Every structure is written in C-alpha cells, then in structure tokens.
Chains A and B, each alone.
Chain A
C-alpha cells in the first residue's frame, strides 16, 4: 500500500513522468524492442521537459511585453500564440497530464468515428491535435470538468472536430485538387469555409471569374523562409515600438542597468527563443506517439482518407497563398485597431498564422470567388481570425494566462463550445 501511495503521490503527480509512461505503454503495446521502448519513453520525457523550458522563456518575455504595452497604450495587448497557451497550460496551470491524456483520447475517438461512420477521415497533423487537446482541456477545466470526465469530453469533442473539419472542407478540397483521396487536416477550417462564404457573396461568378493564378506575383517572401526569422521580423519592431511608447523611465524599472530599448530588443528575441525551444520539445514529445497512432489508425481504418497539413493545397494554387497571406494580414491589422474601439483587447497580428491559415484561406476564396473573392474574402478572414481569439481573452485572463490567446480558429470554436454551451449547461444542472 505504501508503495502504491508513493507512486500516486510522488510519480504520477509529475506530468512529465506520466506522459513518458503513456508513451512507454504505447510502445510496449506495439511490441517494440526493449531498447526502442526505453529510448522512446526517454525522448518523450525529454520532450515534455524541453517544452516546459520553452514555456518559461516565453512567459518571461510575455510578462515584460504586457507591462510595457499597458504602460505605453493604456490597454491590454495580446500576442496570438497557441504555443504560448499550450506551454502555460502544460506548466503554470499544471494541466500537462490531462492534456496528454486528452491528446490520446482525441486519437482514439478519431479512429472510432472513422471506423464506424461513413466519414473516413484520419487527422494526421499531430501538432494540431496537441493544440486542440490543450484548448479542450483548458476550457473543460474552466467549465468545471475534472478527471476522467475532462479527458473523455475533451477527447470526444476533439475527435469530432478531427473528422468534421476535414469533412466540411472536402467539397472545396475536391474542387481545388480534383481528387477525393486526400483531405485537409488543419484546425483553421472554419476560417477557410468563412472565407469561401464571403467569396461566394462578393466574388466573381461564372464566366467573369478570373483566377489569381493568372496574375504575376513576386515569387517569394524571403523573410518567410525561416519560421523563426519571420517571427523575429514582427516581434522585434513590436517590442521596440511598444517600449518607446512606454518611455525610458518606465522601461528602466524593468531593464535594470540595460538601455530600455536594447532590453526590449533582447526580450523580443527571448520570445522567439522560447517558441524555438517549445516547438523543439513538441517535436520530441510527438515523435514517438504520432507515428504509432498513424500506424494503428491506418490499419484499423484501411479505407481511411488521410487529412494532411495545409501545405497539401499550396501546389494547386500558389498565387492564392500569397494573396491570402497579404489580405489576411490586412484584415487582421484592421481588426487590431477596430476591436479596442469596442472595449476588446488589442490582438496583434500573428505572422505565421497569417501565412499558413491566410494562405490556405486564399486558395478557398479563389476557388469559390476568383480574384475578387480571394481578396475580399481574405480581408474578412483576417478580421474573423482576430475576432474569435479576442472572445477568449477574458477567460484566459481569469485563468491566469499571461498576454496570449489561441490562434487556430477551430480550437477557438471548441473552446467557445465549452464556454458558451457546456459550462452554462453544467451550471444549470
């Protein structure tokens, strides 16, 4: 009894160890060799710890940014970063174990739904499932769910999203790619369908429809070639301009002996370093679990339609990706200034989301409404994907999250499902 209590009190309370034990169980069930099982479990443990270290770096930088933004602009400035939300939820809020178990539960529900219904989509973007598990766990916790209920409800909702989002996108994907064998597995799909809807209303129709693929556009955006470089291009000016508005006197209270603008510059780099470390941790953490899941899923659902990450669509409409990125960025900048007028926090544009989600949305807009559809739809899309995360800011603040909000709109929709429907229903009964 003493041993069991020791295990429960001292080992299973450590999220990193629990997550490693889950990976170990998975590897044993797959009949991997002893060496593979040990190395896989240790890599998972390492991944979790690296992720935690990245989160600590991000939080330090975000606390600083929050202070200077409030001083400089007299309002809250929120950085949209699902990585920051995941890191804080895993560590500062102590939800790491629940998120890991929900992550597995989403896989299981995805397989069950695909196996026993006519929607054969298997969601293969592991990182996106981790973000979904983060949001269902955080908002399930906020709604009052605990323990096994938190994990099962999160797993079910995440599993439904993992099938429903590719299914909703598939009519468009068929139109874009001309085939039905591959689907889109990216949790920004509600935004894509929203852009398609706007493009349908405002876009060109019939013979008048002109594709953006007929335009001559610059072939590349050099600063986007590297994920971290593109983050720096946005973060460095953002931190320095904000510090300048906060002023040297306030800046000096935070920067110690360092010049306040230099300190802001270094803090902006710290944010990028934090994202770098956190994502390295995510890769280690998922490196063992995701291939195992894929193997199991594909064998249990042999006629599965694999739902792949958004770059699957880029080759079919590369110009639309660029138009989508530019127009979504315009829309998100409009929303950045528009939302505070109505008392919302200022949501700063996220360059990576604008590129990947904006680019893919551009393909949807172009497919439905041609050039005009892609341009007008993209601006609306940028506004939409800024508005939705803004709706979560109050809840994130009340839970102790620091100056960040989620990005991928499907995960935001799942969170709103908890906040607006499941939570009130639980309180009513």
Chain B
C-alpha cells in the first residue's frame, strides 16, 4: 500500500552528487581524479575562508569518488568548519557518517558508534542553521 516492498524491487536512484565508488572506474578517470586532488590540495594553501571551504568540498568529492572515504571525511569536515553549507559535500558526508555508524554497530564498537551518532546530530544542527540563514 505504501510501497514498502519497493525497495526490494527497485534499486534506489542515485543523484549525480551521490555517484559513488561502486561503479568500476576507468584508468583515465582515476588519473583525472588524482590530478584534481593534487591541484585542489595545492589550491587550499593559497585560499582562506569561504573560498577555501569550497575547494575543500571539491577535494572531498574527488577523494570520495576515488574511494578514499577517510580522507574525504577529513576534507568535508574541514570545509564545514570553514563555512557551514548544505551542498553536495554535506550530503556525501552524512552518507559517509552513516556508513561508519553502520560499520561500528556491526563491529560492536560502542565508542565509535556514539562518535558517529554525535557527528550525525551535528549535521542536523548544521542543516537547521544554514536553512535558517545562520552563517
């Protein structure tokens, strides 16, 4: 009635910014991403504030596409610390936190589980703040 069974029949659609690491990546794309990453890393040092946050977000997205989740998390966290935003970086980071939360639950690691739950709470606060116009 409410489409409960649909998730089994239908594979959830992925938005472009959620394009993940599951698809096999061509060598060309890998090389392109590695080039982007090194360029962005160099660019970060030359920028500050909001501009730096934007580059950190782009770096995070490239690292995520390359499958380097921990590095991507670090880049997204640095970006949000610089400037709160709810763009593609935010969405990907929430997804990554949730993955980490699920892994911690499976490995029965209480402290890690609590850490990622707290981080997810923090993401809700950022979303509230940005939507209400807080910088």
Contact = CB atoms under 8 A, between A and B. Distances in A.
A308 B124 contact: yes
A168 B98 CA distance: 21
Contacts of A222: 133
Interface residues of B, number: 38
A295 B127 contact: no
B6 A171 contact: yes
A249 to B, nearest CB: 42
Identify the 5 closest CB pairs spanning chains A and B, nearest first.
A220-B133, A315-B86, A311-B127, A178-B15, A171-B3
A295 B118 CA distance: 11
A298 B109 CA distance: 10
Contact of B113 (A299, A308, A312, A359): A299
B91 interface: yes
Interface residues of A, number: 39
Interface in A302-325: 302-304, 306, 308-309, 311-312, 314-316, 318, 321
Interface stretch (B39-47, B48-56, B64-72, B100-108): B100-108
A167 interface: yes
A259 B4 CA distance: 60
A422 to B, nearest CB: 23
A316 B99 CA distance: 19
B35 interface: no
Contacts, number: 101
B114 A291 contact: yes
Describe B's contact surface by its main secondary structure. helix
Interface string A170-182: 1100100111111
Contacts of B106: 302
Contact of B131 (A174, A304, A311): A311
Given A291-B114, A295-B113, A321-B131, 19 more contacts: A118-B4, A171-B6, A174-B12, A178-B18, A179-B95, A180-B7, A181-B102, A222-B133, A295-B110, A298-B105, A298-B117, A299-B110, A299-B113, A311-B124, A311-B125, A311-B128, A312-B94, A318-B130, A359-B131
A315 B133 contact: no
B90 interface: yes
A74 interface: no
14 contacts: A167-B2, A171-B6, A174-B12, A177-B15, A178-B13, A181-B98, A182-B94, A291-B114, A294-B117, A295-B114, A299-B105, A302-B105, A306-B120, A314-B130
Given A168-B2, A178-B14, A299-B105, A314 B128 contact: yes
Interface of B: 2-4, 6-7, 12-15, 18, 86-87, 90-91, 94-95, 98-99, 101-102, 104-106, 108, 110, 113-114, 117, 120, 124-125, 127-128, 130-134
Contacts of B120: 306, 308
Interface string A220-259: 1110110000000000000000000000000000000000
Contact of A312 (B12, B105, B114, B127): B127
Contacts of B128: 311, 314
A219 interface: yes
A353 B132 CA distance: 14
Contacts of A309: 124
B29 to A, nearest CB: 21
Contact of A178 (B6, B12, B87, B132): B12
B97 to A, nearest CB: 10
A167 B4 contact: yes
A288 to B, nearest CB: 12
